[in-house]
Structure formats: C-alpha cells, structure tokens
A and B are shown apart, each in its own frame.
Chain A
Amino acid sequence: MLDFNGVSISYGAVRAVSELSFAIEPGETVALIGANGAGKSSILKAIMGIAPIRHGSIVFENGKLDGLRTFQVVRRGIGYSPEGRRVFAATSVIENLHAGGHILPRPQVPARLAQVLDYFPRLRERAHQASGSLSGGEQQMLAIGRALMSRPRLLLLDEPTLGLAPVMVQHIGEVIRTVQAAEGFAVLVAEQNAVWALKLAGRGIVLEVGHKKFQGRSQELAQDPVVRAAYLGTD
C-alpha cells in the first residue's frame, strides 16, 4: 500500500536518507530501527510531507504523496504520532483528540472519540485536563489516540517508547496490537528500542546513516548475530 521508491532526503547539504526503497503491505507492521541519526524520523517526515524529498517518489494506494501538503497526506488516510509526542499542551485531552478528528465528517466525531477513549481508558479519566499536565506515558497515549482519530489505514509512529517506563512501554505495545487487530491498519514504527520494535513488527528494516543495512522478518533479524550485537544490545 505504501511504496518508497529510491527516496533521498537532505537538509541543506546534509543527506539524511540516500536512495532508499521499501514497501508496506496493507495491515502489516514494519519497524525502522537504527541508531540516532540513521534517518528513521526523516523517512516518516518525508511521508508526511514535512521533510522535502530530493529524489524518488512515495506512492500510497496508487497516489503520489510527494508534493502534497501535510494536511492532504492525512486526508489520504495516514495518521502520524510525532517524535516527542507534541501534544497541544495548553488544550485539553478531549480537544487534542478533536483536533485529531479534524478531517472526519462532524457527525462521526463523537462515536470515534468514544472508540479511541475505549482504547485508552486512562485518557478518559484525564479528559478535561490540560494535556501538558499528563505524564509522559499518558501524553504518548494521547499522541497515538490523536493519530487514530482520523481512522488511518496507515499509522506512523515516531519513537513511541522514548523516555517511558518499562511498564508503560509494554502497555503501549499491547494497545497498538489490540487496536490494529480490531481496525486492520498498517503500522510503520521508527524506534530506537529495537527489541520492542521487532516484537511489535512482522518485518524490520535496519538503517545506518541513511542506508538500508539489513531487512527481513523480525524473528530472523532478532536472531541475526550482527544485528543482535549492534542493535539489540545482547551477546
């Protein structure tokens, strides 16, 4: 459903990603793993039209995404939970979710809101609090819930476990799996926590300074001695 064809991304003279190609099938989960600066975030930003691409093209469900503005990418059916969560701190939890549902027809918003709050009961307890007052884990739930509001067919998660307690990391993984099983969207997750990401994803792509170093099924990557040593922090 998503085709990344020979895409290069540069910031000024600095090249973040070089001629990268990969594809995502409907309903599957793909993990982008690699160290800081490997280009994971840039790939998600390029899909969202936030980072400009220099070469190649990005195709989603037979339509080109490159050249679209970010809000138009969302309208094509892609949800995005940014790195650092970036909840609207001064607005309430409910209003953050409403913002996430901006593209839904108005009559559909209340039902979708109820559904998302069912996925994240903790957010329901905090519904009317300013989002800036939530804990890191709650803000991460809010960022994901907000991305889910638009009923995406592809969900992009940028570093969803960054800075979270282990219990919360595990909980977030469970919720993503549950919701995905219910709704059937595909997930592309960029994550430094490779162990967690490979458990969540069916396939993984290992990046190193903007290049694809390895790719394969998650179990194979998790057992590959080179990957284990370099990215899983084991052996």
Chain B
Amino acid sequence: MFTFAILSQIALNGITLSAIYILVALGFTLIFGVMRIVNFAHGEFAMLGGFALSFFYVSLGLHFLVALPIAAVAVGAFSLVLERVVYRRFYQREMPGMIASLGVSIALMYGGVALWGTHQRSIPSAFSAVYTIGPIFVTAERVVVIGVCLVSLALFYLVLRFTRIGLAMRVVAEDRITAEAQGIDTVATYRFAFFISTAMAALAGGLIGQLFSLSPFMGLMPLVKAFIVVILGGLGGILGAAIGGLVLGLGESFVSTFYGASAAQFISFGLIIAILLFRPQGLVGRKEG
C-alpha cells in the first residue's frame, strides 16, 4: 500500500492543497496583522474570485492565465468599496470588527445566491495535459495551480520585504501612531493591505473553482482552512503560514486517501483543538506580548 508511487501521488495532491491554503491564509493574516480585523468574509472574497474567473474565462473567453489575475484585481477593487463603507470603521477594534465581517460574509454569500442561484457549477478545465514523471501522474492543471501560488507568494514576499509600501505595512502593523508620525498615510496603507488580501483570496478562489466547483457557499471551506493554517503556524508570519499550510495540506491528503475525507476533517480539527490547548502560539509562532 505504501509504495513510492502512491506516496508521491499523495504528496503531490497534498502540495496542491497546501499551495491554495497558504495563499488564502496569507491574506487573512495580513488583514489581521495590519488592521486587527478577523475577516470572516475572507472566504467570500475567494468565492467572488471563483465567479469572477468564471465570468472572464468562461463567459468572455479570455485565456485562463489572463482571466485569473484580472478576476483577482476585479475582486480586490470591489472589496475596496466594502473597505470604505464597512471595514474602515472597525480597524483596531477586534470584537466589533469580527461581527461586522460576519455580516459582510453572510451578505456576500446570499448576494451570490441571488445572483447565481444555489446549484454548483464548474469551471471547465483549462489544461488537460497529463505528464508522467517516473511512476507519478502530474496533471497540467496542478502544475498551474502550484505555479500560480508560488509566483504570488514570491511576489508577496518581495513586496513586503523590499518595497516602500511593504515596509509601511510592516511598521503600521507594529505601531500605527508611530508609523503615521514617520509621514506614512496609514489609511492608504490599510487600503493597500486590504486590496492585496482580498485579491489573494480571489486568486485562491479561482483555483479552487478550477480544481473543484463553484457555489455561493464555497467560501466557508477556505475560511476554515485559513483559521487552521493560522492556528498551526501562528498569526502574522509568512513562514508560519507556509509551514501551517504544508502540514494541513499534506496531512489532509494522506489521511483522506487512506481513511476517507471525513477522517481528514476530524483529524485536522482535532489537531487544532490539541494545538490550542498545548501550544496556543502555533508551531512556529511566538507568544503575543
């Protein structure tokens, strides 16, 4: 049963899941780190990304790799309206912010139902090629998913680490008032962080739509995964999100192959409860001061 071929196939599936989870979790943790908002609507921005991709790719007939970034930017732009109208009033206020974002989540979900109905739809496969590397099969679709995630994670890292706006986001996350006293427009910085976060969620949503299916309720899964990744890896860091995402994706892939999908869900949540009990700062996180 544990042949090399099977194990590598499972690992490959797991890495595909991990890549998507990391993408979702990074945006989630960025909004929390910079403006202290636990964004319950994060999954709905992924859902919108899926439908936006469907629109640009299926309805308008754009190339998949063109439609995907356009969909992400479109959702990011739309999210700025909600930032202006709702989120901005709740920055740095964790509890009210949570409730407000829960409201946004439900409103978007049922807005989706009103627009698109409740039936699941799928995005036709953009890449049908299958490669064989030794004993394992690699679909081009998975290569694209992993590639898109790697490129966006690299971009995210480079922006955060080496650009002026990236430094602004980091220092605003550390100390908003002192950041503003350096001449940094914190409101503009918030807006940028919000855009990046929802656009990354939308990108992940598009990939989920491609691999699985689309429905207005599809946002719950990415949100829950983001929570788990963040609890595994600790809030805030890229490294934490990467480790958390890999542990979750690989773990789910192995367990669901051998024991079924419900066992995988059971174990990932069981693991979360265990971590919250025994290591609340996450596997790599430090305690919050």
Counting chain A residues whose Cβ lies within 8 A of the other chain, the interface size class is 20 to 34
Using Cβ atoms and an 8 Å threshold, which residues of chain B touch A96? 171
A–B complex contacts, Cβ < 8 Å, 18 sampled:
A70-B177, A70-B180, A70-B181, A71-B185, A74-B183, A82-B181, A86-B175, A86-B178, A90-B170, A91-B167, A91-B171, A99-B179, A102-B182, A102-B184, A146-B182, A149-B182, A150-B182, A150-B183
Give the contacts of B143-200 with A (CB-CB under 8 A): 164, 167-168, 170-171, 174-175, 177-186
Using Cβ atoms and an 8 Å threshold, which residues of chain A touch B184? 71, 99, 102
The residue from A71, A75, A86 contacting B186, defined by CB atoms under 8 A apart: A71
A80 touches B (CB below 8 Å) = yes
Name A's B-contacting residues (CB within 8 A).
48, 50, 69-71, 74-75, 80, 82, 86, 88-91, 95-96, 98-100, 102-103, 106, 146, 149-150
Using Cβ atoms and an 8 Å threshold, which residues of chain A touch B182? 71, 74, 99-100, 102-103, 146, 149-150
Name B's A-contacting residues (CB within 8 A).
164, 167-168, 170-171, 174-175, 177-186
B181 touches A74 (CB 8 A): yes
B181 touches A102 (CB 8 A): no
A89, B178: Cα distance in complex, Å: 12
The residue from A69, A88, A106 contacting B178, defined by CB atoms under 8 A apart: A88
A91 touching B170 in the complex, CB below 8 Å, given contacts A70-B180, A71-B185: yes
A95 touches B181 (CB 8 A): no
A117, B174: Cα distance in complex, Å: 23
| A109 (CB) vs chain B CBs: closest residue | B164
A88 touches B181 (CB 8 A): no
Whole-angstrom distance from the CB of A70 to the nearest CB of chain B? 4
A88 touching B171 in the complex, CB below 8 Å, given contacts A82-B181, A103-B183, A150-B182: yes
Whole-angstrom distance from the CB of B182 to the nearest CB of chain A? 5
A102, B184: Cα distance in complex, Å: 7
A96, B175: Cα distance in complex, Å: 12
Using Cβ atoms and an 8 Å threshold, which residues of chain A touch B170? 88, 90-91, 95
A210, B114: Cα distance in complex, Å: 60
A106 touching B183 in the complex, CB below 8 Å, given contacts A88-B175, A91-B171: no
Using Cβ atoms and an 8 Å threshold, which residues of chain B touch A86? 175, 178
Q: Which 9 A-B pairs have the closest CB atoms?
A: A74-B183, A103-B183, A70-B180, A86-B178, A102-B183, A88-B174, A88-B171, A80-B181, A99-B182
A149, B170: Cα distance in complex, Å: 18
| A85 (CB) vs chain B CBs: closest residue | B178
A50 touching B181 in the complex, CB below 8 Å, given contacts A99-B167, A102-B164: yes
Using Cβ atoms and an 8 Å threshold, which residues of chain A touch B177? 50, 70
A71 touching B183 in the complex, CB below 8 Å, given contacts A88-B178, A102-B164, A106-B164: yes
Seed contacts A88-B171, A102-B167; 15 additional CB < 8 Å A-B pairs? A69-B185, A71-B180, A71-B184, A71-B186, A82-B181, A88-B170, A88-B174, A88-B178, A88-B179, A89-B174, A91-B171, A99-B182, A102-B182, A102-B184, A149-B182
